[in-house]
Amino acid sequence: MNNTKEYPSRYSKHSVDEIAEYIRFLRQNYIYSKAQAIVKHRTSLGIDEHIISRTLDLAASIWLTTRVDTEMALGCVTWEPNESLQQSIESHFRPVATANDTKRDIIPRSLTAAYLCKNYGFTIIWTDDLRHHLSVDWETQRIKVYEHLIYLCNFLNYPADTPIRTDILEEAVDTINLLFLSDHRRTKRFLKRENKTFNRLGYCGRERRVRLSDYHHWRERISALKEALDGPPKGYHQLVLDKEHRNFLNWATFWIAFVVALLTIISIAFGVVGIVFAVVSYSISVKSYRVAVDSLAVGIQQLEIAIAMACVDAETAARLPQYCAET
């Protein structure tokens, strides 16, 4: 809507109420081709067809919460003149044909946005384009999540004609229920930090689906996130065994290696202590020996002095001929 204010000459309608008129027209005539829709409005308004085309794209974007922009094209839904809006939209929501693997069909309960962000370093990027829901940038580990759950719930609670099939909308709700458990404490804290409140909507009347075979349109993206759990957690989380024991092998390998390394360090430490003790003992023994030798030398010197003093007296010298003979 800011575009209509910044570039008013490019659009035939410039307020929410006026755009709502176009949305009502599209809801009733979404099987019209783009050319037919333009003719309908050009006849009644007498406006350039390019301006009407842009306004129809804008109305479709707001109605379907997916970017429709025929002129920009790149990254947007292109509504060609010979196509209906339904045909243009459906081409972006085709189910992915993948084989069922019954052995790996169960989705672990730990596959939640909060768990992926905390333990595996992912970041949630909120998007208002349903086409980008659950797309992942693996290089930066960013997961795009569609943020308007209330939009999907309203479509299911108040069914109306729409180019997006009901089963696609139901599955989109199921994927959000899968990643954001409404009764999960960690998820509540996570959404509070993200300033999101859609968990108050509960599961929108849907059951939580925990099998890959329950998903068709988003199965490939959910499977990729599920496989991310098979890798080791990041940071200190790899040291903790999760509740489902999915990381038991990595956890056991780390702690066994840690214990072996610790025992090795302890044995080396005791060896070093033993060597240090032996060196200290040897040093003390050498010093003790030197002290004893010095004490003996002093004693001998004192004895020699005493003999010499005794031999000075002739009478004593006569009694000690063996000591005073030389004297």
Strand partners, 144: 125
Count, residues in the chain: 327
Q: What is the pLDDT of residue 236?
A: 47
Q: Which amino acid is at 58?
A: L
Q: What is the pLDDT of residue 101?
A: 61
Q: What is the pLDDT of residue 317?
A: 65
Distances (CA, A) of 122 to 139, 175, 186, 221: 10, 17, 15, 14
Model pTM?
Answer: 0.68
Question: Which is nearest to 307 in space by CA: 290, 322, 293, 324?
Answer: 324
pLDDT tens-digit profile, the chain (327 residues): 888 888 888 888 888 888 999 899 998 888 889 999 888 887 666 678 888 899 999 999 999 988 998 887 678 888 999 999 888 888 888 776 555 666 678 888 888 999 999 888 999 999 999 999 999 999 999 999 999 999 999 888 887 778 888 889 999 999 999 999 888 889 999 999 999 998 888 888 888 899 998 998 899 999 999 988 887 766 544 445 555 455 555 656 665 776 777 777 877 876 777 777 767 776 777 677 677 676 777 777 777 777 777 677 676 667 667 767 654
Q: What is the pLDDT of residue 237?
A: 46
Q: What is the pLDDT of residue 239?
A: 47
Element (H, E) at 142: strand 142-146
Residue ranges per structural domain of the chain: 2-90, 102-235, 249-321
CA distance 158 to 35: 30
CA distance 116 to 233: 9
Question: How many other C-beta atoms can be found within 10 angstroms of the C-beta atom of residue 311?
Answer: 18
Q: What is the pLDDT of residue 327?
A: 46
Q: What is the pLDDT of residue 124?
A: 95
